[in-house]
Structure 1
Amino acid sequence: MNESVVESLNDWFIAAEHAANRSSWTVRSFNGKTVGVAVPAFYTNDKSGTRMFFDADHGKRLTDALDDMVAKNTDLVFLEGFTDMAENASYWRSTDNTFYDFPNQRLNILRKYSSNKAWPESLRIEMEACDKFFDISKNNSGNQYRTGDLDVAKVANVASDKNTEWYVTHTEPGEWLEWKELPYAAGNVTIKVCYAAKADAKIRFDFGEGTQRRQGPVVELPATGGEWTTVDAFTMKCDVNGWRRTLLNIVAGQPDLNYFTITVEK
């Protein structure tokens, strides 16, 4: 193609281990436009058997690439392999513990570099998508969504043309769900919980780690007759934008947990 009609170009990424210009990301300017491409990791061989491998390096490979693109004022970024699980280049949630430190790691990195979504005014957090959990009973009683001991079931009566929804079920006092990092924007933050319970229950949120750990109040969850309902759990003030470890503890009862939302008033 004649370069006079090409708006922009990029060199893609070069994964062959013998390549002198080997890199998991590239940035190229052409015709006044700067385009970048990156993979968070990569693991496969080419047709001749040459090994092509980039370790995720605990998320550093992707953040280094995105930092470089931000510094170079890149106009357009291609995230190669967005759903490419086979080559370890996917960006979705994963329970892989070899190239992921925790399930939401790569999704969180993308959130941090999103100019208008990094600090959302409202964010919905799915219970079944937690990074870590403690479940007293063995196996997944609902046999849905993920492997392991977390009990996950499908929400009933979801239209076939809509996304399937799941929820955490068969909870017990002493169990907990953990998210390694969630974005909390500065301002008055309200936590709302969507749940269903046949009898009264109680939960508690904790935030942060070590000396910075903050324990929230015990939240009463009245019986709902098994119907889904949403309650304001509590409101807290965040002085600055920050990513915080978040735990949801089952204090009493056996509530079914669908999701919670983090909403900020600035």
Structure 2
Amino acid sequence: MRHRTGPWHTSRVLLVCGALAAAVATPAALDGTASAAPAATAAVVDNGGTQLSHRAANVTGALGVTFGFETSTIAGGPYTNQGNTIYNLPLYQAAGQPSSQFWLDAVEQLVTAGVDFVAVDTRGYVPGSAVPNGGGDPRELTQLVAAINQAGAADKLKIAAFDDTPASMTDKKNQVKHHTGGYDPVFDMGDTTGAGEGGYQYLWDNDLKAFFQAVPDNLLYKVGGRPLVYLWSDNSFAFGNQGGGHSAAMLSYVRSQAQAQFGENPYFVTDQSWIANDPAVASVADGQDAWFGVPSPTYTNDTLNGHAFGATVPGFHFVTGSSNMVIDPNHGQTLVGDLANTVGKGDDLTLVEGFTDWLENAALWRTENAPYATTQRDYPGQDLNILRRYSKAPFPGTLTVQAETADSATDTTAGNDFGVYRADSLDVQTTTDTGGGWNVGLIATGESEQWNEVPLQNTEDLTVRVATPNPGTQLRFVVDGVAGSTVTVPNTGGWQTWQTIDAGTFQFQPGTYHTVRIEYPNGGLNVNWWRATAS
């Protein structure tokens, strides 16, 4: 069962944020042609690195994450929830920035994580309301679509729906009929028109229809050619009259409308409560999940129609008043174990709560650069790296790492000189390079950026996207303490005139993860991203 920690609008946050951290499959819009290559040298051999668990090659199930887009999440705060201590605050500082930048950063992180789909937490809207009508307004998803296209990631990231049914149906019905919101009176599943305390329009017209209007067909995540739609609980805290075929009839109606209006036949995965409350749902739903428990089980596997469905969470912490709901993330090992027992056990679909769920300390995004006691993560990109390990490409053939996403940095000046993206001393500015986003700027002599647990194996060619009006600036890669060649960066013609340069070749052991640092022996340049390409 899904756990509530307060009013619907603050109890559950599911995904989004920033400018993707460690390695990501290269978006086409960010491709650069390498130039200014140094003289050919032998590959630098690094026999170090770490062996970590990851998805086996014969495992084919899909991996997705839930993604809540509440107003405070997109706005960068306030990060408060009924007195609960908030640990995993984001690295990306969204406050004061355009919402389009929040979505662009979110896409980068999702692509970095290697997930097959992002299941956006839809909560419907009140007819006639401005956009957004609170968190989860599906009409707002046009911004996610725009960000995916801007990043050139349409072939890498797809969108599913995760319908927060108590919010989209019961709460919205009570806003419309009683001008109150909340879950009392409960939603009558037997009322088809809304004459009483129900109405199919809340799930279809004011919710999933808007989802299909916002998300084009080419960006829908599909199972066997059918768009994936998760539906959360229809239990008695928010619903009544579910049995007798009533819940099944509602799903059949939604399916018929999606087919008639959009030519789409939804692949419904329901919370187990749907079939428990109305056995007729088994003939309409395509799958079901059992969610997770607090404090246990931290993962579940469920089956329907011969397919297996996993659900899990990286951690959970809601402690306030009489509530004491905790799942210890255990330095990332809870998520590792849960993915090994869902993805790794061959579940056809695995869904992880909750990419942006800072409200319950279940967020998967890059956290702020702070000690474990503050973030409950060992380093900012830890959960993204764990997700990628259980993605379909734990060792991507092409890995692009955004400079602003460094897990740690050595900077010679206090504070972020440009005041965007992150709150520590790394100097990050908005870039005008292809694809947009951010770059690290005003890099001085002696500075460096570092990333942890980067998947690199066999022979990897390294390139860097640079800009500088200065001659003679220098950089070098140091991997696991092994230094590569020092590369002289050409004068590109300006601080935002970008060029991709070769930065050497490394040889690694198969299936290993590494600490990668870029050092700057002679500063005076900007860096947008670096890339490792298997050769």
> What is the TM-score normalised by the length of structure 1?
0.87
Distance 1:250 1:143 in 2: 22
Deviation at 1:5, TM superposition (A): 3.3
Distance 1:136 1:177 in 2: 12
Deviation by residue 1:128-167 (Cα, 9 ceiling, x = unmatched): 1000011010110010100011111111377xxx6x4111
Matched residue type, 1:181: E
Deviation by residue 1:37-60 (Cα, 9 ceiling, x = unmatched): 0110112259x8422111211000
Distance 1:140 1:71 in 2: 41
In structure 2, runs of 5+ residues without a counterpart are 1-277
Question: Within 5 A, what are the aligned runs for 1:1-266?
Answer: 1=278, 2=280, 3-15=282-294, 22-44=296-318, 49-95=322-368, 97=371, 98-115=375-392, 117-156=393-432, 164-186=436-458, 188-199=459-470, 200-208=472-480, 213-226=481-494, 227-265=497-535
| Structure 2 counterpart SS, 1:133 | strand
Deviation at 1:235, TM superposition (A): 1.7
Deviation by residue 1:202-259 (Cα, 9 ceiling, x = unmatched): 1111111xxxx31111111111121111111112233413211001001003111111
Matched residue type, 1:99: Q
Distance 2:344 2:386 in 1: 17
More strand by share: 1
Distance 1:137 1:38 in 2: 41
Larger Rg: 2
Any conservation in 1 of the 2:448–2:520 contact (CA below 8 Å)? Answer: yes
Deviation at 1:125, TM superposition (A): 0.5
Distance 2:322 2:339 in 1: 30
Say if 1:71 and 1:259 are closer, same or farther in 2 by CA, change over 3 A: closer
**Amino-acid identity (%):** 31
Matched residue type, 2:476: R
Query: Which residue pairs with 2:178 in the alignment?
Result: none
Any conservation in 2 of the 1:121–1:185 contact (CA below 8 Å)? Answer: no
Distance 2:379 2:319 in 1: 26
Distance 1:114 1:77 in 2: 11
In structure 1, runs of 5+ residues without a counterpart are none
Distance 2:344 2:413 in 1: 49
Distance 2:473 2:397 in 1: 28
Any conservation in 2 of the 1:14–1:23 contact (CA below 8 Å)? Answer: yes
Any conservation in 2 of the 1:120–1:185 contact (CA below 8 Å)? Answer: no
Aligned residue pair count: 249
| Structure 2 counterpart SS, 1:40 | coil
- Show structure 1 runs of 4+ deviating over 6 A: none
| Structure 1 counterpart SS, 2:337 | helix
State the structure with bigger RCO (CA 8 A, min sep 6), 1 or 2.
Answer: 2
Alignment RMSD? 1.9
Distance 2:387 2:475 in 1: 30
Say if 1:75 and 1:219 are closer, same or farther in 2 by CA, change over 3 A: same
> What is the TM-score normalised by the length of structure 2?
0.45
More helix by share: 2
Deviation by residue 1:159-206 (Cα, 9 ceiling, x = unmatched): xxx6x41111121111111001211132x3110110111212011111
Any conservation in 1 of the 2:317–2:327 contact (CA below 8 Å)? Answer: yes
Matched residue type, 1:236: F
